Amino acid sequence: MWCFLVLEIATFVMGIVALVKGKIAFTKNLVVRGAMARMIGVVLMLPLPLTFSITFAIGFVMAANGRSQHEIAVRAARIATIVEFGVFIACALLAVILGAIAPKRPAKRKLPEDFEDESYPSDAPDDRGIRPPVPGTEVGIQASPPPLGRPQTKTNAGD
């Protein structure tokens, strides 16, 4: 019974780490990341509270049926061991199954060498070796063309 408690606490801690980091390693080559790793973390955290809740409910029902305290303690201990073992094995198997069916990361698509993202201006130097001014800086503001719309004309205050 104590060995299951130690295993449940260990899997609970592993579940917290998986939930926080979003990463869990099953083997050297099988590392699950992202939402599925967090889901596995929650499954690994389940045995401890689930066993406690089920055992508490069984004891509560026995007490409600008028059983003596000694009888509840003896029977609940046997039932708790079976429940603890079953819940731990079920959650561990579910975590391994979720890890096995976790989506694998797609291979990174290699972009063609002549690809240039249209949403950002290129800051590569031009033919003369001059880099374009950085937008938002004083030089970039002075170098940018005036906004489209009415042409700006100078007016004399005296006219």
Listed residue (44, 42, 12, 18) closest to 31, CA to CA? 18
Average of per-residue pLDDT across 43-65: 91
pLDDT band at 47 (very low <50, low <70, confident <90, very high): very high
pLDDT of amino acid 150: 61
Cβ 134 vs Cβ 122: under 8 Å? no
Specify the length of the chain in residues.
159
CA atoms within 13 A on the CB side of 81: 8
pTM score = 0.60
Q: In what helix (H) or strand (E) does residue 41 lie, and over which residues does it extend? A: helix 35-45
pLDDT at res. 130: 72
Give the DSSP letter of residue 134.
P
Q: Rounded to 10 degrees, what is the CA torsion of 137, 140, 142, 144?
A: -140
